[in-house]
C-alpha cells in the first residue's frame, strides 16, 4: 500500500469517527485564539480553557490588554507553564498588533510568525481555524502518529508537515489535522499503546513498529518508580 493509498483509507476512518471538529481551545475571535494557542505550549488545552475566560473578560482586545502590566497578565495565567515569558509575549504581541496592524490579527502565516511567542505551529493553527487558510499544524500527536502510520519518517515536524501535505488533499488539511489530534488522544497514546487493536495502527503501522513499542513499554515498566 502506498502512502497515498494509506492516507486515503485513514481519512475515511477519521471522517467516520470525527465528522465534526470543534477547535479544542475556547476562544471568541482571532485575537483570543492567538492567545489561547500561545498559552497552550507545554500545557494542556483543558488547563488553558480553565484560565482564559477571566483573562478574556478582563482584556478581550489588544487595546485593553496593553493597559495591563506584564505582572497583571501573569497573575491571570499563573497556573500555566512558562507564565512569565508567556505574559511578556502576550503584552508585546498586543502592542505590535496596535502598532502595525490597527489592532487586528494578520491573516498570513508569515505575518503571524512575526508576533512574539507565535511560532510556525501557532501561526498555522490561527490561519487555518480563524481565517480558513489551508494549513497543516503539526503537534506532538500528529508527529507521533504520522510516524507510526509511516506517512512520514519522523525526522522532524518540518518534514512531517511537508509529507502530510503531500498525501492529504489541500481541502482537508484544516479538518484532518484536528481529526488526527482527536484520534491520538482517544485511541493512540504515546505509551502503553497496543498497536494490534488500534483502528488505524493495526493495519497502517509496520510490525517492526509494534515490536519496538512493545519492547519500549516493557522497559519503562521495569524502571524503578521514583519516590515522592
Please give the positions annotated as active site. Answer: 121, 139
Question: Do the beta carbons of residue 170 and residue 4 sit within 8 Å?
Answer: no
Reduced DSSP (H G I as helix, E B as strand, rest coil) percent helix, strand, coil of the chain, to 5:
65, 0, 35
Question: Do the beta carbons of residue 133 and residue 112 sit within 8 Å?
Answer: no
Question: Do the beta carbons of residue 53 and residue 78 sit within 8 Å?
Answer: no
How far apart CA 181 and CA 44 sit, in angstroms, is 13
Question: Do the beta carbons of residue 48 and residue 36 sit within 8 Å?
Answer: yes
How far apart CA 189 and CA 195 sit, in angstroms, is 10
Amino acid at each position: 500500500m502506498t502512502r497515498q493509498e494509506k492516507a486515503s483509507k485513514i481519512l475515511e476512518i477519521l471522517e467516520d469517527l470525527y465528522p465534526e471538529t470543534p477547535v479544542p481551545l475556547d476562544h471568541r475571535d482571532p485575537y483570543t485564539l492567538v492567545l489561547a494557542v500561545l498559552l497552550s505550549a507545554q500545557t494542556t488545552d483543558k488547563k488553558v480553557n480553565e484560565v482564559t475566560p477571566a483573562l478574556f473578560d478582563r482584556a478581550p482586545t489588544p487595546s485593553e490588554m496593553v493597559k495591563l502590566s506584564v505582572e497583571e497578565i501573569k497573575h491571570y495565567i499563573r497556573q500555566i507553564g512558562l507564565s512569565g515569558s508567556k505574559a511578556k509575549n502576550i503584552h508585546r504581541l498586543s502592542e505590535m498588533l496596535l502598532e502595525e496592524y490597527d489592532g487586528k490579527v494578520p491573516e498570513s502565516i508569515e505575518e503571524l510568525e512575526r508576533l512574539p511567542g507565535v511560532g510556525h505551529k501557532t501561526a498555522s493553527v490561527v490561519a487555518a481555524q480563524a481565517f480558513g487558510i489551508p494549513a497543516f499544524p503539526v503537534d506532538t500527536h500528529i508527529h507521533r502518529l504520522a510516524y507510526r502510520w509511516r506517512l512520514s519518517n519522523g525526522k522532524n515536524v518540518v518534514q512531517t508537515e511537508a509529507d502530510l501535505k503531500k498525501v492529504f488533499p489541500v481541502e482537508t488539511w484544516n479538518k484532518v489535522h484536528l481529526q488526527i489530534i482527536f484520534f491520538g488522544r482517544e485511541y493512540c497514546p504515546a505509551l502503553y499503546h497496543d498497536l494490534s487493536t488500534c483502528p488505524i495502527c493495526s493495519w497502517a503501522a509496520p510490525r517492526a513498529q509494534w515490536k519496538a513499542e512493545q519492547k519500549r513499554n516493557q522497559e519503562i515498566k521495569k524502571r524503578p518508580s521514583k519516590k515522592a
